Amino acid sequence: MPVPPLPTSTVLTTLALDGHSLTLDHVSSAATRPGPVVCALTDEARVRMAASVRVKNDLIASGAALYGVTTGFGDSSDRQISAAKAEALQRNLLRFLRAGVGSYAPDDVVRATLLIRANCAARGSSAIREEPVTLLLELLRADLLPLIPERGSVGASGDLAPLSYVAAVLTGEGNVRCQGRELPAAEALRARGLHPVHLRAKEGLALVNGTSFMTAYATLAHAEARELAWIAELCTAWATEVRRGPAEQFDAFPHTHKRHRGQAASAAHIHRLLTGSRLTAVPPSAETSETGYAELDRNIQDPYSLRCAPHVIGVLRDTLEWTGHWLTTEINSSNDNPLFDAATGRVHNSGNFYGGHVAQAAQALTSAAASVADLLDRQLQLLLDDSYSRGLPANLVAPVASAEAGVHHGFKGTQLTASALTAEALHLTMPVSSFSRSTESHNQDKVSMGTIAARHARTSIGLATEVAAITLLALAQAADLRGPHLLAPATRAAHTTMRQSIAFLDQDRPLDTDIHRATALIRTAAIRRLSDASEAAHSV
């Protein structure tokens, strides 16, 4: 099968990798929008890398026992080999580690992995030449993506199994995915004019002994969680409108006095989204009777899923802040072992491959995102149950001719789906790092499970995003029933965006396609861009 041609695109910028300044936005952009960016090592990175290679070579020449270079791996590190066998050792490392199972990692995760691993090598303490790292970046540029099974890493000695599939492709072994086609690596490299590398001493270990796969998952989860926080605030504002709730519950005063930055920012955003709405209500009122008792026309406060939404979404916002710092540190770290100090000529055996920080960050994102899913599921219930929706029809069933009365059920089925998605997201909040396993003959006797935690984070955030999509569908329906012209400019822009691809539900139809379309509008940030633009235009 021929290799698909490279997509034609104009190179707009070069991303210089120095091992110190890669950002999460760099990673998510390169992973999700491949094309007009060339990634390259800086001259300073090349100098540092060459210096650590010289230290390694000098130590090998001295006859020193170097872990994973002139000794076996793991509990086999008491077995020293001659320098003549060092390259064969690296070749076999990549072979015995390729024991992964499960589905192949998505393309964006693989792209992020390639970029992060190259950047970690650019720090210059892993004793790897620039040639293998440059080929990593050439794979990224050509979008030749190693097929990496998702399962098989305990996240302690880094992502040994997943990264072995990356390293194998550099040597011409294994398989890649190219524009949806699976091809032998050697064939794909040849078609792109690329040449496999012959890994030297330590270089296989330098490629596989790190946290780049789990951090790729966590970085993309972090980006998607930021989008989730924004869309949850839109849903909250919109639900407040269509239920004719009070905007004053999002005034700055109470949130300023709670003093959590994420909560205050969330409340302020919801309040801005409601600016200009003709649906939000004034405080309830009633005339007091002679008995000194009266019933208000509605509750004085909204249920917690609306009134406390900034307190819930704010947790996600604050979690995004500190996990962002941790993940940025991780993608700019030497998460390898052993490390070589060019200044002193020494080798250092340590455990920088341990994924504990990634695991903790991922678990926190999982928990915060699942809580938002639960929040949105409860908001959906307020919209569909006519006991709580303040005049909206049950299940948002559109008015129909009398001949069809009673046969339509509107959004009833979507609440079942939302509940199932929420339950699954909540189930994933069990911290997997609590299930450390002693592996590899008790050499890896305390492991992070960071890779599983990172996969769970992205899964949980994906589930929460689908709950948000269902909630958006219901909100758009409710807005049509109330009158879209009464919405605030920002929520009206969101409604317009949705109605460009998703029709009003005038009678029962399968809603799975609608859910997929609404989810895509969230993930591509289409709703956010237009809503933000509308909000900005009306705030001038």
CATH of the domain at 204: 1.10.275.10
Q: Is 195 a domain residue?
A: yes
The answer to whether residues 305 and 425 belong to one domain is yes
Q: Is residue 134 part of a domain?
A: yes
**Token pair for residue 305?**
């899923």
Residue 528, CB-side half-sphere exposure with 13 Å CA sphere: 17
HEC secondary structure over 322-378: HHHHHHHHHHCCCCCCCEEECCCCEEECCCCCCCHHHHHHHHHHHHHHHHHHHHHHH
DSSP 267-303: HHHHHHHTTT-SSSPPPP-----TTS----SS-SS--
pLDDT tens track for 7-50: 554 445 789 999 999 999 999 999 998 776 789 999 999 999 99
As a dihedral over the C-alpha atoms of residue 219, residue 221, residue 227, residue 232, rounded to 10 degrees, the angle is -140
Ranges 33-37, 320-324, 330-334, 371-375: which has the least confidence: 33-37
As a whole number of angstroms, the distance between CA 100 and CA 91 comes to 17
Q: Please identify, among 189, 210, 231, the residue that sits at the C-terminal boundary of a domain.
A: 210
pLDDT on residue 212: 97
In a domain, 294, yes or no: no
Question: Does residue 504 share a domain with residue 447?
Answer: yes
Q: What is the mean pLDDT of the chain?
A: 92
- The verdict on 430 and 372 lying in the same domain is yes
Proportion of the chain above pLDDT 90, given as a percent? 79
Do 77 and 173 reside in the same domain of the chain?
Answer: yes
Q: Which of 6-20, 90-104, 371-385, 505-519 has the lowest mean pLDDT?
A: 6-20
Q: Could you tell me if residue 478 is inside a domain?
A: yes
Question: Are 205 and 250 contained in the same domain?
Answer: no
- Residues 136 and 161 both lie in one domain: yes
Whether 184 and 306 map to the same domain: the answer is: no
Q: In this predicted model, what pLDDT tens digit does every residue of 480-497 receive, in sequence order?
A: 999 999 999 999 999 999
Residues 256 and 181 in one domain: no
Question: Can the peptide bond before residue 2 be classed as cis, meaning omega within 30 degrees of 0?
Answer: no
Catalytic residues, by residue number, are: 67
Domain assignment of residue 395, yes or no: yes
Count of the separate structural domains present in the chain = 2
pLDDT at position 167 is 97
Q: Are 190 and 158 in contact (CB under 8 A)?
A: no
Q: Are residues 505 and 431 in the same domain?
A: yes
pLDDT digits (tens, 9 = 90+) for 386-413: 999 999 999 999 987 677 888 889 999 9
Per residue in 126-153, pLDDT (tens digit) is 999 999 999 999 999 999 999 999 998 8
CATH of the domain at 258: 1.20.200.10
Residue 227 lies in a domain: yes
The pLDDT tens digits for 46-58 are 999 999 999 999 9
The whole-angstrom separation of Cα 117 and Cα 15 is 14
Is residue 276 located within the same domain as residue 317? Answer: yes
Query: Same domain for 98 and 39?
Result: yes
Distance of CA 181 to the CA centre of its chain: 25
For the ranges 104-118, 191-205, 432-446, 509-523, the lowest mean pLDDT is seen at: 432-446
**Strand ranges, E, within 65-120:** 101-104
Mean pLDDT of 174-190: 95
pLDDT score, position 408: 87
Domain range for 442: 220-282+301-339+348-539
What are the backbone dihedrals phi and psi of residue 183, each rounded to the nearest 5 degrees, phi first?
A: -140, 150
Burial class (CB in 10 A: 0-12, 13-18, 19+), 396: buried
Q: Which of 193, 225, 205, 198 is nearest to 90 (CA)?
A: 205
Residue 290 included in any domain: no
- Count CB atoms within 10 A of the CB of residue 149: 17
pLDDT band at 464 (very low <50, low <70, confident <90, very high): very high
Which of 69-78, 162-171, 521-530 has the weakest average pLDDT?
Answer: 69-78
CA dihedral over 468, 528, 429, 257, signed as positive or negative: negative
Residue 293: the pLDDT is 81
Residue given tokens 């490629």 in the structure block: 207
Cβ count near 479 (within 10 Å): 24
- Whether 295 maps to a domain, the answer reads no
Would strands 175-178 and 339-341 be described as parallel, antiparallel, or unpaired? unpaired
Looking at 168, 192, 210, the residue that finishes a domain is 210
What is the rounded CA–CA span in Å between residue 211 and residue 112? Answer: 12
Distance CA 239, CA 471 (A): 9
Cβ atoms of 122 and 18 closer than 8 Å: yes
Any idea of the CA torsion for 210, 147, 432, 469, to the nearest 10 degrees?
120
**Considering 187, 210, 233, which residue would you say is the last residue of a domain?**
210
pLDDT category at 540 given cuts 50, 70, 90 is low
Q: How far apart are CA 133 and CA 114, in angstroms?
A: 9
Give CA angle at 441 (439, 442), nearest 5°.
Answer: 65
Question: Exposure string (b/e) for 189-203, b if CB count within 10 Å is 16 or more?
Answer: bebbebebbebbbbb
In the chain, the amino acid numbered 143 is D
Does 156 lie in the same domain as 235? no
258-273 confidence digits (pLDDT tens): 999 999 999 999 999 9
Structure confidence at residue 12 (pLDDT): 52
Strand-strand pairing, 101-104 and 149-151: antiparallel
- HSE (CB half, 13 Å, CA atoms) of 110? 28
* pLDDT tens readout for residues 427-443: 999 998 887 777 776 77
* pLDDT at residue number 292: 76
The predicted model gives 370-385 an average pLDDT of 98
Is residue 53 within 8 Å of residue 130, measured between CB atoms?
no
Pair type for strands 13-17 and 37-41: parallel
- CA 221 to chain centroid, in Å, comes to 1
